[in-house]
Structure 1
Amino acid sequence: MTGWDIDVAGVRGVLNKSGTAAKSLSETGSAMQGNLEEAASAAGTLSSQYGPYTSTVGEVGAALGEFLQHWSRDLLYIAKRTSRSLNGAAEATGYYIHGDLELAANAQRQAAKEPKVDLPGASEHGRRTEGQ
């Protein structure tokens, strides 16, 4: 670990810009979720003319719900990965400033680990999970 040569001011600049972009991405993801739910409910329902007269989500609403369910895990993964990377870079740089390259390397290793993504009630096979 003796070969570290970090431009601390440069790292801070990149972290500030990346943090701003990550916040914007998070806000966009939250807005998208709300917008998809609103669009799904506004897309109409299917009703049976033969009673009992119940309505179910229409085809467009169902498709939007499936889209959101399918991509939620990936969007959460991106958010967790981004947060872990930014925090790890900041932590490693802090240790570097204080001259503790061992802790800096450990922070870097921890930040590089795969994040675990758990959605409530979700159990999909073939999607990202820790260690895969």
Structure 2
Amino acid sequence: MTGWDVTPSGVDFVTSLVGDAIEEIDKAVKSYGTNAKSAADSAGSISGPVCGAVPTGPVGAALALFVDRTARDVMFLSARAAKSANGAREATAYYVVGNLEMASDTQHKALAAPKIDLPGDKRGGDHK
């Protein structure tokens, strides 16, 4: 590394903004599943009168499939932002105490994609 020019207060300011954004993303992620389920329930079905639970219609099935296939990507958004912000904070802390090697190593590790583990997901934690 040829040189570092880090302003710790600037890093703190920017990572706090990222933290605020992550909170908003987390709120959106929580409402994502609820809103998709509500939309699927409201979409109705192509059946006549039924006794008991109404069968899922094609729109509801498509929404469920969409949510299932995009859940990992949605979760990845806040996990990526958090890993980057935490890596920046940790690397800056090493920079402040003069350990540029650990700062560089920490910065490099923060670049790796976070692992996302979803319940019942057989693909594993890698983001793909």
**TM-score, normalised on structure 2?**
0.83
Deviations 1:29-81 (A, max 9, x none): 211221111221232244467x9987421122112111111111111122221
Structure with the higher strand share, 1 or 2? 1
Q: Secondary structure at the match of 2:37?
A: helix
Identity of aligned residues (%): 37
Structure 2 partner of 1:106: 105
Following superposition, which runs of at least 4 residues in structure 1 exceed 6 angstroms of deviation? 51-54
Contact 1:46 1:55 in 2 (8 A): no
Contact 2:72 2:127 in 1 (8 A): no
Change (3 A) 1:131 1:52: closer
Change (3 A) 1:88 1:55: same
**TM-score, normalised on structure 1?**
0.81
Change (3 A) 1:54 1:80: closer
Range 99-108 or range 39-48, more displaced: 39-48
Q: How does 1:32-71 map to 2 (within 5 A)?
A: 32-47=32-47, 55-71=54-70
Unmatched 5+ residue regions in structure 2?
A: none
Equivalents in 2 of 1:32, 1:131: separation in Å? Answer: 19
Equivalents in 1 of 2:27, 2:127: separation in Å? Answer: 28
Unmatched 5+ residue regions in structure 1?
A: none
Structure 2 partner of 1:7: 7
Equivalents in 2 of 1:3, 1:54: separation in Å? Answer: 65
Contact 2:36 2:63 in 1 (8 A): yes
